[in-house]
Amino acid sequence: MDFFVVAASITVIVTFSHVLRIPTLVGFIATGILIGKSGLNLIDSVPVTELITEAGILLLMFSLGIEFSLAHLKKIMRPLITLGIGQVALTMGVSFIAFKFLLGLNVNKSIIFSMMISLSSTAVILKLLQQKKELGTTYGNLSVTILLAQDLIVLPMMIILSLMGQSGSLQSGNKMEQSTVLVLFALPLLFWLFSRHILPPIMKAVVATKSRELFFFMLITIVFGISLVMQNLGLSLSIGAFLAGVMISESPFSKQALSEFSSFRDNFLGLFFTATGMLLDVQFIFNNLQVILFLVALLFFIKGLTNYAIVRMNKLPHSVAITVTLILAQIGEFSFIMADAAKKNGLITTDEFQYVLSLAILSLIFTPFLFDMAPKTGGLHFPKLKSLSWQNLKNVPDLILKQGDPSDIQESEWNQNYIPVEGHYIIVIGLGHTGQGICHELKRLDIRHCAIDLNHANIDTMNKHNITTLYGDASRTEILEEAHINDASIVIIAVFGAKVARHIHDAVKHLAPKVPVIIRTQFITDKDHLNIRKRDTVINAEEVTSNEIMNHVLKILPSETKTS
């Protein structure tokens, strides 16, 4: 019954907020407040609220880990440090001074709250950048670089909280549980063991079944299984979920795992923000309104000062710095996760948790409006760049650190490690006999191409021939974006089944409406299931076979006539 109330309330309130053009995020939070104890008290079950929150936290941490690539991180280490880690360190330093000397908190709480303040909302900002199609802008890439660094540092912060919870402070390390310290030292070995020797054979066995449902449940088993292992070893569930994601990110199945998980994750993100609203004590806000408004102002001042300073220190224009400052002014979901962990470890009181919760929710409510006004305030009119996404961010930060206006960087420079602007690029979807034959011909002709398939045996076969491949479901947006669909000259769909081909074709049309598509179908009637455009071509196996047979018939008949 509780889940019905939550689902029905979200449907009604978020739809109503959409009609009023209120950001969806605000609708989710408002739903939680309305049905929680501070509102109509429709959900008075604390375990249900905690279950939704805990599940949302685990899935967020897992998705954070699965989008990491250790190889890519090595390539962007310098900008991550100068921009991202620099922003976190500067924000923590200024926040610590404010909490310790302005608000009079002790050292431990000043450290805890400064860590929370240093983080922004990765989920919300990325969603807004994608919805507004501003992920490839200069300020979009800068924001993503800083967010990526913040996400990287979440794990060390969570470990620090875990250790502080066991010892009471960072200054009494001799009291820490020896088992946890041993686990921290053994963590690299455990990571290597799981990612290289335990998970790969399990994943290959599941993938061999060609069952997407089984693949999905395998992911759920891995995330909760490793989370429970980490909890039993003295670390938190969320740390385990993050590590599970990183382990999968190092496998060839990472992109498919992300695509299978993304819609599920987005749904739980909505539930997470709803549960966050349910935990908010509105009466607490009214009773402490002046203090909370002061803290909101202090938050925007500190983050505004530090975000602007770090961007300017990297020799970027004033307009870019202003825009990034407004975009990253909030604290977000990971700040709440840290506050929840600190509360469970007895490091902060219930009232202090409510202060953080109030601050996070209010800053998140302001975020969509600040995001909309950011480019106008910064006076930016930069062209958007193609084929850039959070997962594919490799060489962008090295370029944005160059002196001068980043808007002057040519598109070919930004994409030099991706698909070249000049020359043809073809995506082949489906690696049956037809798809493999096409790839071999494209390689012989030296035409750049990428092959996508859900059969890992086919992927392995093509990899042996040094053909670029991507394991995943080509009807998924994330997989097509990973293949740089907008840079393609042609997309060839050579899969079995008209319905499968239709889903892939629809996805391609949605993401890259100008890219021509060639579709191989098995039967003549298959064409009826496809929404074909003028620029698309359908090649039917039955028609080709009948035409080829008739060609041979006509070649044979005259020769027989002559001999007779």
Query: pLDDT value at position 419?
Result: 39
Going by C-alpha positions, the residue among 26, 5, 3 that lies closest to residue 14 is 26
What residues have CB less than 8 Å from 264, skipping those under 6 apart?
Answer: 59, 216
Which CATH architecture fits 425-554? 3-Layer(aba) Sandwich (3.40)
Q: What's the whole-number average pLDDT of the chain?
A: 79
Q: DSSP label at 517?
A: E
Query: pLDDT value at position 392?
Result: 38
* Residues forming a β-bridge with 540: 521
* Angstrom distances, CA of residue 516 to CA of 385, 505, 512: 21, 10, 9
Parts of the chain belonging to CATH 1.20.1530.20: 31-378
Q: Can you say how many angstroms the Cα of residue 293 is from the centroid of all Cα atoms in its chain?
A: 32
Sign of CA dihedral 23, 29, 35, 37: negative
Q: How far apart are CA 549 and CA 551, in angstroms?
A: 5
Query: pLDDT value at position 429?
Result: 93
Query: pLDDT value at position 552?
Result: 81
Q: How far apart are CA 541 and CA 14, in angstroms?
A: 48
Q: Is residue 297 exposed (0-12), middle (13-18) or buried (19+ Cβ within 10 Å)?
A: exposed
Residues of the chain with pLDDT under 70: 44-50, 52-53, 68-76, 135-136, 166-184, 234-235, 263, 265, 375-423, 558-564
Look up residue 83 and give its amino acid.
L
Q: How far apart are CA 510 and CA 59, in angstroms?
A: 28
Q: Where are the alpha helices (DSSP H) in 379-432?
A: 396-400, 411-414
Query: pLDDT value at position 525?
Result: 76
Helix (H) / strand (E) element for 191: namely helix 178-193
Query: pLDDT value at position 351?
Result: 92
Q: Report CA Rg, the chain.
A: 27
Parts of the chain belonging to CATH 3.40.50.720: 425-554
Q: How far apart are CA 162 and CA 119, in angstroms?
A: 18
Q: Which of 202-209's residues contact partners 24+ apart within 8 Å by CB, and which partners? A: 203/248, 203/251, 203/253, 204/456, 207/253, 207/456, 208/456, 208/457
Which CATH architecture fits 31-378? Up-down Bundle (1.20)
What residues have CB less than 8 Å from 360, skipping those under 6 apart?
Answer: 276, 330, 331, 332, 335, 336, 339
Q: How far apart are CA 156 and CA 143, in angstroms?
A: 21
Q: Is the pTM of this model over 0.75?
A: no
Query: pLDDT value at position 284?
Result: 92
